């Protein structure tokens, strides 16, 4: 038995007002290990009554001011301590993520944190510093009037997150939300309720005042909807699918709440004939096979210039051989199963569709020797029309569609013919081509001869159905603070009304 298999995860409960509590109803749901289809443990199944308790705690904490009016240096201290604790418990968090959503446990990093956990800790540190260093504006153009702006804590936010990167995506939202002094009620995905429990213990140990961060487990319709609709929740930051975002937008509009949406994608990875293929081919494989393709910015449409198309297919198939699925608890495994039975069935239905709309170059089914678990082979689809469903819809599995193009403008026409607009990847040896494409690609983020790197000040997010709003640095501050002005006359002279 490996060290990871030995981990026992107790039943998971909500974290409300600094206490670990079950649902008022006493209801729970099973947490399934997607690699074995076995029940790992149970989790509390939250509903409207639990939401009411969590929001009440968050509101009281906000109004009490212990966090919302604390000195920025205090908030920095607590968040830095939480970041250190996240890193210290890296192995445990990674093991829980493996059990809940099947992501490979990866190499043994010894005393060092796993890179995903290091990044999660960094999210906290980054915004802890950002809020301490942020300044406001003073407008003081003459000696009769002093007026200044204040961007301060705004209230209680609902944070709703998906399962495909539980710790990284959750900390990415909660870091700015909490750093700027707000209170939060966080609802992680029902498919990944294990790793977040560790975070609750960490916030407690780090000295976060009770009620500032609350975590509620449960399903979208039962716990997510009442959270969005609660009158004391002033805004919702959501990462997930466009369909859910539409539902949240409708409900939030009724309460005039602010929303921020980070949604799905069908991102084009464009490889020109003058690209360095020794880098572009492995990056294309990583871009679609990493995390079994369950990545919002996955390069799921690979566009390849006609002149190198055949050679690219050959190289891509060869390199895909290194991405064979396996037991995610094995340290050598690079891709595990999909997260759930429904996700497995969904991806399989797209593979059936691909046989009609195009041709399966390799993969296309369940890997040999893996009879249990929601495993899917890395797959490439070719010969499909760019307007076919497999080229247009987000499959969210290890499935690439590969499409040839003749020149820059045809590549742009294919890439932009999408209801999504999250990321774009351009592989070329020409700066001119890179800039030409960057200015015309309809996506929120563009990587040239690279992928995934990001300065945390950059605006993360997408166009079209890929999102509304951006997260990162000052943009997160804008969303998670209330900007007001204060004005007072210094002398009786001057006409203060005229300037408004
Ligand atoms: P989902 O929309 O089904 O669920 C996301 C979260 O919303 C879960 O916590 C769920 O319980 C909750 N939810 C569901 N219905 C709700 C409702 N009506 N009201 C309130 N909450 C509700 O998405 P998912 O399947 O968990 O995640 C996959 C999707 O997320 C993909 O489309 C993927 O591309 C996207 N995603 C985007 C990013 C990004 O940053 N752009 C990152 C990761 C994932």
Query: Is 217 in the same domain as 291?
Result: no
- The total of other beta-carbon atoms located within 10 Å of residue 2's CB is 12
Instruction: Assess whether 93 and 47 both reside in one domain.
Output: yes
Question: Could you say which DSSP state residue 499 is in?
Answer: T
- The answer to whether 200 is a known catalytic residue is no
Distances (CA, A) of 141 to 136, 148, 488, 489: 16, 11, 13, 12
At residue 8 the predicted structure's pLDDT band, cuts being 50, 70 and 90, is confident
Instruction: Clarify whether residues 135 and 284 are in a common domain.
Output: no
Q: Is residue 302 part of a domain?
A: yes
Beta strands in 189-325 (DSSP E): 213-215, 233-239, 258-262, 268-271, 301-305
Q: Looking at the structure, tell me whether residues 42 and 148 fall in a common domain.
A: yes
Identify whether the C-beta of residue 215 lies closer than 8 Å to the C-beta of residue 188: yes
- Mean pLDDT, range 120-132, rounded to an integer: 97
Number of domains observed in the structure of the chain: 2
Annotated active-site residue in 130, 296, 394, 471: 296
Question: 299-319, pLDDT tens digit by residue?
Answer: 999 999 999 999 999 999 999
CA–centroid distance, residue 173 to ligand 1 (Å): 14
Q: Are residues 151 and 259 in the same domain?
A: yes
Of 87, 229, 262, 357, catalytic: 262
Same domain, 98 and 172: yes
Q: For residue 119, what is the domain's CATH number?
A: 3.40.605.10
Taking CA atoms only, the protein residue closest to ligand 1 atom 22 is 220
The answer to whether residue 240 scores a pLDDT higher than 50 is: yes
Whether 338 is in a domain gets the answer yes
How much is the average pLDDT of 169-184? Answer: 98
Helix (H) or strand (E) holding 68: none
Stretch 342-364: mean pLDDT, rounded?
98
User: Is the distance from CB of 336 to CB of 34 less than 8 angstroms?
Assistant: yes
pLDDT at 169: 96
- Separation of alpha carbons 451 and 296, rounded Å: 13
pLDDT exceeds cutoff 50 at 1: no
Q: How far is the CA of 63 from the centre of ligand 1 (A)?
A: 30
First-last CA distance in the chain: 71
Q: Any residues with CB less than 8 A from the CB of 482 and at least 6 apart, and which? A: 151, 152, 153, 154, 155
pTM of the predicted model, to two decimals? 0.96
Strands 233-239 and 19-21, by their bridges, are unpaired
Establish if 7 belongs to a structural domain: no
CA–CA gap between residue 248 and residue 235 (Å, rounded): 11
| Domain edge (last residue) among 448, 474, 494 | 448
pLDDT for 180 equals: 98
Q: What is the pLDDT of residue 490?
A: 85
| Residues of the domain holding 79 | 14-263+466-485
Q: What is residue 143's predicted lDDT score, i.e. its pLDDT?
A: 84
Reported confidence tier of residue 491, pLDDT bands at 50, 70, 90? confident
Whole-angstrom CA distances from 262 to 238, 399, 464 are 6, 22, 11
Residue whose tokens read 């609802």: 187
Do residues 196 and 274 lie in contact, with contact meaning Cβ atoms separated by under 8 Å?
Answer: no
Residue 122 covered by a domain: yes
Distance 163 CA to ligand 1 centre (A): 8
**Lookup: tokens for 57:** 């705690």
Q: Do 195 and 316 belong together in one domain?
A: no
Residue 471: CB within 6 Å of ligand 1?
no
For residue 353, how far is its CA from the centre of ligand 1 (angstroms)? Answer: 24
Is 396 in the same domain as 362? yes
Round the average pLDDT of the chain to a whole number and report it: 95
Check if the beta carbon of residue 437 is closer than 8 Å to that of residue 411. Answer: yes
Q: Flag whether 298 is in a domain.
A: yes
* Other CB atoms within 10 A of residue 314 CB: 11
Reply yes or no on whether the pLDDT at 70 is more than 50.
yes
Q: Residue 493 — very low, low, confident or very high, per pLDDT cuts 50/70/90?
A: low
CATH number where 287 lies: 3.40.309.10
Residue 288 belongs to some domain of the structure: yes
Question: Candidates 190, 241, 346: which one to mutate for ligand 1, based on the most atoms within 8 Å of Cβ?
Answer: 241
Chain center to CA of 98: 17
State the pLDDT at residue 122. Answer: 97
Regarding whether 365 and 235 lie in a shared domain, the answer is no
259 and 309 in one domain?
A: no
Has residue 143 been placed in a domain? yes
Q: What is the mean pLDDT of residues 223-244?
A: 98
If asked whether residues 243 and 155 sit together in one domain, one would say: yes
Q: Give the model's pLDDT for residue 496.
A: 53
At 356, give phi and psi (nearest 5°): -90, -40
Query: Which atom of ligand 1 is nearest to 466's Cα?
Result: 41
Q: Are 461 and 470 in contact (CB under 8 A)?
A: yes
If asked whether residues 233 and 344 sit together in one domain, one would say: no
3: pLDDT confidence band, cut at 50, 70 and 90? very low
**Distances, alpha carbon 375 to alpha carbons 102, 103, 477, in Å:** 10, 12, 40
Is there a domain that residue 1 lies in? no
């Amino acid at each position: 038995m490996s060290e990871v298999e030995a981990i026992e995860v107790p039943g998971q409960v909500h974290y409300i007002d600094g206490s670990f509590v079950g649902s008022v109803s006493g209801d729970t749901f099973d947490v399934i290990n997607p690699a074995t289809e076995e029940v790992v443990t149970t989790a509390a199944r939250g509903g409207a009554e639990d939401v009411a308790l969590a929001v009440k705690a968050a509101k009281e904490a906000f109004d009490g001011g212990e966090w919302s009016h604390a000195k920025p240096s205090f908030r920095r201290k607590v968040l830095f301590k939480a970041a250190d604790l996240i890193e210290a418990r890296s192995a445990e968090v990674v093991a829980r993520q493996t059990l809940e959503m099947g992501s490979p446990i990866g190499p043994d990093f010894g005393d060092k944190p796993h890179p995903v956990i290091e990044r999660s800790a960094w999210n906290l540190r980054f915004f802890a510093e950002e809020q301490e260093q942020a300044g406001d504006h003073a407008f003081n153009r003459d000696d009769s009037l002093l007026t200044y702006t204040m961007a301060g804590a705004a209230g209680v936010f609902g944070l709703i997150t998906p399962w495909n990167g539980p710790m990284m995506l959750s900390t990415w939202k909660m870091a700015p939300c909490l750093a700027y002094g707000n209170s939060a009620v966080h609802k992680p995905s029902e498919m990944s309720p294990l790793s977040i429990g560790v975070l609750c213990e960490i916030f407690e140990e780090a000295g976060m005042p009770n009620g500032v961060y609350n975590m509620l487990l449960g399903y979208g319709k039962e716990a997510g909807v009442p959270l969005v609709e609660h009158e004391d929740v002033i805004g919702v930051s959501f990462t997930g699918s466009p369909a859910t975002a539409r539902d949240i937008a409708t409900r939030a509009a009724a309460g005039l709440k602010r929303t921020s949406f980070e949604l799905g994608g069908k991102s084009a990875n464009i490889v020109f004939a003058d690209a360095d293929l020794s880098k572009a081919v492995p990056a294309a494989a990583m871009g679609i096979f990493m995390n079994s393709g369950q990545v919002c910015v996955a390069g799921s449409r690979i566009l390849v210039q006609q002149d190198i198309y055949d050679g690219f297919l050959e190289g891509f198939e060869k390199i895909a051989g290194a991405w064979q699925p396996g037991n995610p608890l094995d340290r050598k495994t690079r891709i595990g199963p999909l997260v759930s039975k429904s996700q497995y069935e969904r991806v399989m239905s797209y593979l059936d569709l691909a046989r009609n709309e195009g041709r399966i170059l390799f993969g296309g089914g369940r890997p040999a020797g893996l009879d249990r678990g929601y495993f899917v082979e890395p797959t490439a689809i070719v010969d499909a029309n760019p307007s076919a469903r497999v080229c247009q819809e987000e499959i969210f599995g290890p499935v690439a569609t590969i499409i040839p193009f003749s020149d820059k403008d045809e590549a742009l026409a294919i890439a932009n013919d999408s209801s999504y607009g999250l990321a774009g990847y351009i592989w070329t040896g020409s700066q001119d081509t890179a800039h030409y494409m960057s200015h015309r690609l309809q996506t929120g983020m563009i990587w040239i001869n690279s992928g995934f790197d990001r300065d945390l000040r950059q605006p993360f997010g997408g166009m079209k159905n890929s999102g509304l709003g951006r997260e990162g640095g000052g943009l997160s501050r804008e969303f998670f603070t209330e900007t007001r002005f204060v004005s007072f006359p210094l002398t009786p002279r001057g006409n203060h009304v005229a300037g408004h």
